[in-house]
Amino acid sequence: MPIVMLYSMNLQVGTIFLFLQDSASLFWRVWAYLTQEFTFGRITVSISKLIVGAAVFIFTLFLARASTSLIERRMKNRRHIDAGLRYTICRLARYLIITIGSLVALKQALGVDLTSIAVLFTALSVGIGFGLQYLASDIAAGFVLLFERPIRVGDRITIGDDEGDVESINMRTTVVTTNDRIAIIVPNSKLVSQRVVNWSYGDPRARIAIQIGVADDSDIDLVTNTLLDAAKDVANVLEDPQPRVQFLKFGDYSLDFRLLVWTRQPRCHVQIRSDINYRIARLFRERSIKIPYPTQEFLLKGLDLPQDVEASLLRDRDGS
């Protein structure tokens, strides 16, 4: 009986040893296949290197996202740093991490040195200069916006006929959201090269001008006081600086005035202008101030009209 048990144990040990030997042999065969190098021109690659490079690149993307979130959380409680500056710092940190990680991934996967990368970027820059010049200008403008910061995230801007809040500044485009919650995708080069009105830049106060013309026989003091009354107690209109009225000019058929008010909510300038216009219309009607309209008179000479028609025209003219 002991001999049988001993034989059985030796058989099991031998089986395990053979299994381990086969597993090790299989492992080394797979490892040799993965580490086998292939040469393409001046580049030598292997499957293991490609796997390592892909893993480094995936880790880089994860690290970039995690670092950006960490930096944003750390700076969120510091009120002296505005949202636009936080966004710029997070974007630059993300671009820097992704760039360094991509270079390391290329080094691990393809064994590319910095000299080869410099040559590659030189070739790409030549190609971009000829074939992708608009894309290159948008990317360069994106860095200008991030560093110079003439436009920041959260600013209220006007581009041509479009107006909205800056939601994000990306590498190539900027997203602007209008009051109708419509996203406008604007190329960065357009924001740098064209005229853009930034309602939130610098001083948070903004001046709103409302022009209006009245009849040429109106009392100018009454018009001035009425315009000032229309600007009182309007939401988001500042009392300091006080609203002002300017007498601009004598028009062809009107007296032209301008009401100036100040606000700390420039993104609400459309609603502020509407509220004041409502009050101006009501106060003008109450105080009998007329808004003129162009009129034309025709003088007929040398034309014989029946006496009854001529008399009716004269009565109508005198009545008007």
Query: Is residue 20 in a domain?
Result: no
Query: Is residue 254 in a domain?
Result: yes
**pLDDT higher than threshold 80 for residue 7:** no
Query: Is residue 84 in a domain?
Result: yes
Structure-block tokens of residue 27:
């492992």
Query: What's the CATH code of the domain at 176?
Result: 2.30.30.60
Query: What's the CATH code of the domain at 311?
Result: 3.30.70.100
How confident is the model over 91-127, as pLDDT tens digits? 888 888 888 888 888 777 776 665 656 666 666 666 5
Structure-block tokens of residue 303:
């034309």
**99 and 186: one domain?**
no
Query: Is residue 35 in a domain?
Result: no
**291 and 186: one domain?**
no
**269 and 224: one domain?**
yes
**CA angle (189 as vertex; 195, 205 as ends), nearest 5:** 40
Query: Is residue 109 in a domain?
Result: yes
User: Which of 113-127, 136-150, 216-230 has the highest mean predicted lDDT (pLDDT)?
Assistant: 216-230
**151 and 262: one domain?**
no
CB neighbours of residue 23 within 10 Å: 10
**67 and 177: one domain?**
no
β-sheet bridge partners, residue 165: 156, 177
**191 and 210: one domain?**
no
Query: Is residue 262 in a domain?
Result: yes
d(CA 54, CA 33) in angstroms, rounded, equals 18
Average pLDDT over residues 6-22: 55
**pLDDT higher than threshold 60 for residue 239:** yes
Which percentage of the chain shows pLDDT scores above 90? 13
Query: Is residue 66 in a domain?
Result: yes
Give pLDDT, residue 244: 92
**153 and 113: one domain?**
no
Number of structural domains (the chain) is 3
Q: Of the residues 74, 104, 131, which one is the last residue of a structural domain?
A: 131
**232 and 162: one domain?**
no
**211 and 319: one domain?**
yes
d(CA 30, CA 24) in angstroms, rounded, equals 10
Query: Is residue 11 in a domain?
Result: no
Give residue 101's domain range.
43-131
